[in-house]
A = this chain, B = another copy of it.
Amino acid sequence: MPAAATKREETGVSKTSDSASRAGRLRRAPENFVDGELAADVVRGGWNPTRRSFLQRSFLAAGAALAGGTALATDAPATIGTAGALGDPMILEPRPWATSLGQPVAARPYGMPSKYEANLQRRQSPGLTQTAQASVAFTPLQGLFGIITPSGLHFERHHQGWQEIDPTQHRLMVHGLVRESKVYTMDDIMRLPSVSRMHFIECGANTGMEWGNAAVPTVQYTHGMLSCCEFTGVPLSVLLDDVGADTKRGQFVLAEGGDGSGMTRTISMEAALSDVLVAWGMNGEMLRPENGYPLRLVVPGVQGVSWVKWLRRIKVGDAPWNTKDETSHYVDLMPDGQHRQYTSIQECKSVITSPSGGQALLDRGYFNVTGLAWSGRGRIKRVDVSTDGGKSWRAARLESPVLPKCLTRFNFDWQWDGSPALLQSRAVDETGFVQPRYRQLRDVRGTKSIYHNNAIQTWQVAASGEVINVHVD
């Protein structure tokens, strides 16, 4: 679709990014119909009035019926091959992979995705920052499933680039208002009692380009500073106990990173003693270098900048430190020109990941609308989806597990009748917080902020099926 291609170029997304969307089209039903052969199949299996009876049934039957398959009768000549195993007709002609010896086990001692998925990548948004060492690589949410983010596609946000640290040379110092300051080796730390928990991590600047108008074309760039992993580490409370921290006078903790940016963030002692982890494990293995290997802070529910990577120092103090990263950066500019500091919690938020901007619906009928919801305050209680820009809402299905301060995957059944639509999702968390509309958010925050934009996202579906990013009040 030239129109969409042009739109993508205008927003500075490279040709390779176009291929990524195309790879998406090959994998996500709403995007598949650009391919003639596949289109034919799906049209044959698509909307079929004779199957209306299915519509009275559960979402499953309805979904299955409307998506359908290719009736053998229809294309028997084309698709039935010679007799196969057990004397049954084989599917199409024998495939090369069914008639040749495959590759050995451990051919790849550490496996990688299929070559057919090579375009699903984390990508930098060209021109977003002046140097690629102080920039962002976004997670391709449009091509992901469930809640776990593959570690290889975890978003990146660095202030002086990422480093590959020798774990035997890394140290963590804990000091300040403590009985006995200490320096820990990785071995000291990994020997401690550990816990494993699944949490989302979202950069405070996620969706930051959207404060004014709809600025970028795809969900990878509107919401892709978001990932979710299983983290393993030692509770920070264990380390604070080990050094005999004064938790009465010491109401604050400073965390400092070991890279050149010397990232430093203040955390309240209350948080430090609750669910904060000093983590080495991510999705079952050691952290990736881009994500803080060998040690990072995990601060559930709090913006990513506080999840200090390459963690080298913890200091206990009696006041916030007001470091550069807390005063000149990561503050919320308000309409009156003042700014808010230490607005760290990532409030309740959600987004539809498919269908989403850059994709296209090329026929009518059933679509499984899917997306993600999360809250820094706890569990997601419900997610509603609207296809008419918020005039009416219906509850989406939440996939288990639904965990606190963790992504929740939702799915929603939608029959597209071919007319224009405005797709929105609205999350509610267990505190009762309801994700705001843009108008509500701007009434308080104005449009000059960078951080903490948790407004309801709208994807506009044109009659042509093209999906684009728009803002509605």
Contact = CB atoms under 8 A, between A and B. Distances in A.
A384 interface: no
A183 B99 contact: no
Contact of A183 (B91, B107, B148, B230): B91
Interface stretch (A231-239, A297-305, A334-342, A446-454): A231-239
Given A29-B191, A256-B85, A411-B195, A230 B146 contact: yes
- Interface-central residue, A69, A231, A237, by most chain B CB under 10 Å: A69
A332 interface: no
Contacts of A166: 116
A323 to B, nearest CB: 8
Contacts of A196: 145-147, 399, 409
A312 B106 CA distance: 24
Contacts of A198: 401
Interface centre among A65, A146, A198, A368 (most CB of B within 10 A): A146
Residue from A61, A150, A188, A294 having most chain B Cβ neighbours under 10 A: A188
A426 B342 CA distance: 47
A258 interface: yes
A160 to B, nearest CB: 6
A148 to B, nearest CB: 4
A191 B43 CA distance: 13
A272 interface: no
Contacts of A38: 168, 185, 187
Given A168-B38, A193-B63, A122 B101 contact: no
A194 B254 CA distance: 43
Q: How large is the interface on A (under 10, 10 to 19, 20 to 34, 35 or more residues)?
A: 35 or more
B88 A147 contact: no
A70 B35 contact: no
Contact of A187 (B29, B193, B264): B29
Interface in A129-171: 131-133, 135-137, 143-154, 156-158, 160-171
A286 B113 contact: yes
A380 B73 CA distance: 48
Contact of A108 (B59, B73, B260, B290): B290
Nearest to A120: B285
Most chain B CB neighbours (cut-off 10 Å) among A41, A105, A172: A105
B185 A41 contact: yes
Contacts of A409: 196
Interface stretch (A174-182, A208-216, A434-442): A174-182
B111 A192 contact: no
Interface string A388-424: 0000000000011101000001010100000000000
Contacts of A109: 121-123, 137
A194 B145 contact: yes
Contacts of A160: 101-102
Contacts of A124: 104-106
Contact of A171 (B79, B169, B239, B400): B79
Given A102-B133, A191-B366, 11 more contacts: A29-B190, A29-B191, A70-B182, A79-B171, A88-B313, A91-B173, A105-B290, A114-B167, A145-B194, A145-B280, A196-B409
